[in-house]
Amino acid sequence: MPQPKTVEFALSGTAQGEEISPAHVPFGLMRKFHEDVERLVLGSNQGSLSDTLVQVKQGSYALVVPIPETVRESFELDMSMMTNEDSATHPDPIRLSVLQGWQRRAAFDRGITYYIRPHGAKPRISELKIDAQTVLRKATEDRWVSVE
């Protein structure tokens, strides 16, 4: 059976005057980050990553998460269009909400940066960096127009 593709979700910067690392991350920030990563991976799909084995990497606080086959295609499509405002398709609203929350946090606390880094030889998505300067797609209303 082939190994699932993994993606690294990293939280970088400073918290309470020290660099964020596996040895130093505020509990509330860590808990919210874990919840956000699960929501980002699953999007609007039902399920849970509770039984998924993840790696916590040294350096910044980084989780390496295997992306379930059932959501991989939609996850990769959404991540590839998050900064492309010209795309005709719309990303999953839950995934967009998570990334917009990270962008607001990074704008409010300029010491925080979030990263999404695909692993593997030929990843289908590029690294996504979310900091105070990141411009993400806007959530859009229903594109249908009422007619009489």
User: pTM, whole model, 2 decimals?
Assistant: 0.83
Beta strands in 16-107 (DSSP E): 18-19, 55-57, 61-66
The answer, yes or no, to whether residue 131 has pLDDT greater than 80, is yes
Q: What is the DSSP letter of 119?
A: -
At position 11, the amino acid (one-letter code) is: L
Query: Phi and psi at residue 65, in whole multiples of 5°?
Result: -120, 125
55-77: pLDDT as tens digits: 898 778 999 999 998 999 999 98
- Give the pLDDT confidence score for residue 143 in this predicted structure: 47
